[in-house]
Structure formats: structure tokens, C-alpha cells
Structure 1
Amino acid sequence: MKFSDNLKAWARRIKRDGVTLWFAGKNPRTPWYAKALGVFVVAYALSPIDLIPDFIPVLGYLDDVLLLPVLIWLAIRLLPPGVLAECRSQAEEWMQANGARPSSRAGAILVVSLWVGSGVAAWLWFKPHP
């Protein structure tokens, strides 16, 4: 198997596991801590806005290539095996039926809030004090 095939398979699994977390967030058997992390990861992953914009050289893609897969892996590890299997099955069915990933307004709001909060904090930090 070629490197590009391995990379495509890995990307497909990451995408599937992101959708899996979406379904796990709705599952009543998902523990609260897994739900909390899963909701955060899904909101960020499905947000149309990145925390670090992609046009910033190198750093722009770090969240997509490193941060997001690590967070998805961690959230998946927190799911009980039965819930994981059920939600992965739902995710695969949903992806075959719909093709595209869902989107999240909450994720966009979260990212915009982080940027605004960071801007306000920086302004307060650097503004001249009388």
C-alpha cells in the first residue's frame, strides 16, 4: 500500500471518528466527561472557522494535522466500547447516505468567541495603565 493510500485511509478514519463523536454526544450511555470533550471536539472540527486560520504559514495547518486528530483520538478513547461500536456504525451509515460532514454553528461561535476573548485580553494586557 502506498503512502498516499495510507494517508487517505487515515483521513477517512479521522472524518468518520469526528462524526462518531457527533453521534456519541447524543447517546445517553456516553459518560459526561466523554460527552464534554466530544462536544468541544465536534464543535471545533465542524466549525467553518479555524482557531488558527489556514493562511498563516505552517501554523495554519497544525491544528488540522496535529491538534484535531489528537483531540479526536482522546475523545474516542473515553467512549465505552459498546457506545463506540454503535456510534461508528451510525457514522458510517450517515456518511454513506449524506456524503458531506455536518456543520456546526456552535463551533463557529466557539472559535469566534475565543478570538474575541483573546483580543480583549491582549488589549487589556497591553493598554497603558494610568
Structure 2
Amino acid sequence: MDVLVGVALGLVGLWLLLVLCLFLGRPRGVALRLVLRLLPDVLRLVTRLARDPRVSRSARVRLWLLLAYLALPFDLVPDFIPVLGYADDAIVVVWVLRSVIRAAGPEVVAEHWPGTPDGLAVVRRLTRT
């Protein structure tokens, strides 16, 4: 019984650590609200980049894993929690996009961007690319 309680407390501690890392790694300067507004365009971008053979295999794998994470019914922070529920999704998207844009190059990303130039500028600011 003590082992089970220890494992449960360890998992809760790990979850709290992950949430803290997400909070500390959140993009600064641009509100997460903007990311949520751009989410449909970002999802189309991620799908297009994941299918582009010019993007490295490791970057495409990260994109497919991101899509799988977003499709899962459970998250690090459940979506029904106001503000924080979607913030973890936005932060994970920014982290993955930052690494993919650096790998693929901003030209490939601009070619696949389905939204407005202002939206692309926000994505570039968020990902620091």
C-alpha cells in the first residue's frame, strides 16, 4: 500500500513539475490569446509541414506527435479548466513549431502558411524565428 501511495505522489509531483515547466517556458510578449485565435491556421500549417518531404524526417515526426497530442482527449492540464486548459496546448505548439521552423527554414513555413501575413508575423514572434 505504501508503494502505491508513493507512486501516486510521485506522479502528481511529476505532473506539477511539467505544468511549472510549461508555465516558465510560455512565450513572452505576445498573449496566449493570440495563439488560440491562430490555432486553426497553425493546425493547417502543421499538417502541411508534416506532409512536406523537404522537412526533415525528425521534424515531421515531431509534427505528427504534436497532432496526436492535440487529438488526445486528455492533456497535462485538462481543457475544461478556464484559460490554463488551452494554454498548455498553445505552449506545446509553440515549442514544436520553434524547433520545426529552425529545421525547415522560414521560407518553407511561409510557403505553407494559410493565414494572413500578420498571423505569420505573430507565429514568427512567438517562435522567435
Place the TM-score, normalised by the shorter chain, in its bin. 0.3 to 0.5
- Over alpha carbons, which structure has the higher Rg? 1
TM-score, reference length from structure 2: 0.48
TM-score, reference length from structure 1: 0.48
**Larger relative contact order (C-alpha < 8 A, sep ≥ 6)?**
1
